């Protein structure tokens, strides 16, 4: 959109209210329900839904900018909302490419439903390409899911959980089944989210005991393993780009705080502001150089998804690479910001202290460093010899 204005979708006053609540949710280990309510009222949950279905009609490129902006105010809120936006983004990937099946996600988002992301499983390094959750046919073209999902952000509030499981009993088994379930008695959410950072996401463990997805909400059945199927590309592309956006937003905020601190602090030795100290200036310049590389990379990849550019097999190293670079950059920038700010940043009440803890979560999201490097190595060197 040529006239896209981020403040239209995330006004400054809304961001300031969200920013004010962020340390409270971090300290009290609570979900930012008021943030979600205000974002829902502002239409934020449907930014990726086409205008023809009642949404804002934004592209992934615009959503990435907005998520950077939201993360600068409250990283945990942005990361939690990210998981809902992943599913609306996948629905956009489907509709843009003429693939049916996720219209109910778009309509639900417009109606105020909250979609959570139920893919991660403890010890499952196959991630999208396999599952330890059993998906058993129910005889009516639906499936009953039994298993345990971890890192289920939005745990206290989701209305539908998008997930996958493995069908090992059908004639064409094994098949990975991607579907959506509602919150019923067959779903148990543990109150176990007590972490170092990103506490407001409330990404609790979810246990499924025969949770049923009816036929209308079974989206895809595909063979396990890497696949060009739209469900795999949709999830991988939207997840990696929006995740990179959140951590890039954290880096931007840390850089802003470092600049503000350097301008306010004065040296007892020289009487000058720290912004005039050559070492501090070099450190902030180093932060800025690292940060400046990421927004255009994210924008370019997001635009390519929106415009249906065909990168073929190069898509996966590019997507995992931008996520990895964003996490590495953000951790570096926050580390440097702590040094610029000095000992005061070590106190829990300091915003940089919270950003320091929040940014560490990036290492635990797919693609992890090992996967990103393996993907890049295969792209440039070919697969490992058997």
Is residue 70 over pLDDT 70? Answer: yes
Tokens of 187: 């779903």
Predicted TM-score (pTM) of the model is: 0.97
Rounded to an integer, what distance in angstroms lies between the CA atom of residue 199 and that of residue 214? 33
User: 262 and 168 in contact (C-beta within 8 Å)?
Assistant: no
- pLDDT tens, residue by residue, 303-344: 999 999 999 999 999 999 999 999 999 999 999 999 999 999
pLDDT at 122: 96
pLDDT at 19: 98
Rounded to an integer, what distance in angstroms lies between the CA atom of residue 182 and that of residue 98? 26
Confidence of residue 386 (pLDDT cuts 50, 70, 90): confident
Average pLDDT, the chain: 97
Burial of residue 50, with CB atoms counted within 10 A of its CB: 0-12 exposed, 13-18 middle, 19 or more buried: middle
What is the DSSP secondary-structure string of 24-50?
HHHHHT---HHHHHHHHHTTGGGTTS-
Is residue 1 over pLDDT 90? Answer: no
Is residue 11 over pLDDT 80? Answer: yes
Helix ranges (DSSP H) in the chain:
6-9, 12-28, 33-41, 60-73, 75-96, 103-111, 230-264, 278-292, 294-306, 315-341, 351-359, 369-381
User: 55 and 47 in contact (C-beta within 8 Å)?
Assistant: yes
Confidence of residue 238 (pLDDT cuts 50, 70, 90): very high
Q: Percent of the chain scored above 70 by pLDDT?
A: 99
Confidence of residue 2 (pLDDT cuts 50, 70, 90): low
Is residue 351 over pLDDT 70? Answer: yes
- pLDDT tens, residue by residue, 251-305: 999 999 999 999 999 999 999 999 999 999 999 999 999 999 999 999 999 999 9
Q: What is the mean pLDDT of residues 150-168?
A: 98
Rounded to an integer, what distance in angstroms lies between the CA atom of residue 80 and that of residue 30? 12
């Amino acid at each position: 959109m040529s006239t896209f204005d981020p403040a239209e979708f995330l006004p400054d006053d809304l961001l300031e209210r969200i920013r004010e609540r962020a340390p409270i949710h971090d300290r009290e280990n609570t979900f930012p329900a008021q943030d979600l309510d205000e974002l829902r009222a502002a239409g934020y949950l449907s930014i990726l839904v086409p205008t023809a279905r009642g949404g804002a009609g934004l592209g992934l490129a615009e959503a990435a900018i907005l998520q950077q902006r939201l993360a600068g105010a409250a990283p945990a809120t942005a990361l939690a909302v990210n998981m809902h936006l992943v599913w609306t983004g996948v629905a956009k990937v489907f509709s843009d490419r003429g693939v049916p099946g996720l219209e109910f996600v778009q309509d639900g988002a417009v109606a105020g439903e909250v979609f959570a992301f139920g893919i991660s499983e403890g010890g499952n390094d196959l991630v999208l390409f396999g599952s330890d959750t059993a998906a058993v046919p129910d005889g009516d073209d639906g499936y009953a899911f039994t298993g345990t999902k971890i890192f289920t952000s939005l745990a206290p509030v989701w209305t539908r959980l998008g997930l996958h499981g493995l069908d090992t009993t059908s004639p064409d088994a094994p098949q990975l089944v991607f579907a959506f379930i509602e919150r019923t008695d067959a779903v148990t959410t543990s109150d176990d989210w007590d972490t170092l950072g990103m506490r407001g996401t409330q990404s609790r463990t979810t246990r499924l005991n025969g949770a049923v997805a009816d036929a209308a909400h079974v989206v895809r059945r595909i063979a396990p393993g890497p696949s060009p199927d739209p469900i795999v590309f949709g999830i991988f592309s939207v997840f990696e780009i929006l995740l990179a956006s959140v951590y890039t937003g954290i880096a931007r905020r840390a850089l802003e705080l470092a600049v503000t601190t350097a301008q306010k602090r004065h040296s007892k030795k020289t009487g000058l502001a720290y912004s005039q100290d050559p070492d501090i200036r070099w450190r902030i310049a180093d932060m800025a150089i690292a940060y400046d590389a990421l927004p255009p990379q994210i924008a370019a990849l997001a635009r390519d998804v929106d415009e249906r550019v065909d990168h073929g097999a190069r898509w996966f190293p590019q997507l995992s690479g931008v996520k990895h670079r964003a996490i590495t950059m953000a951790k570096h920038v926050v580390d440097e910001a702590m040094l610029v700010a000095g000992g005061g940043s070590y106190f829990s009440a300091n915003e940089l202290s919270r950003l320091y803890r929040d940014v560490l979560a990036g290492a635990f999201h797919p693609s992890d460093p090992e996967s990103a490097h393996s993907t890049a190595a295969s792209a440039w060197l070919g697969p490992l010899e058997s």
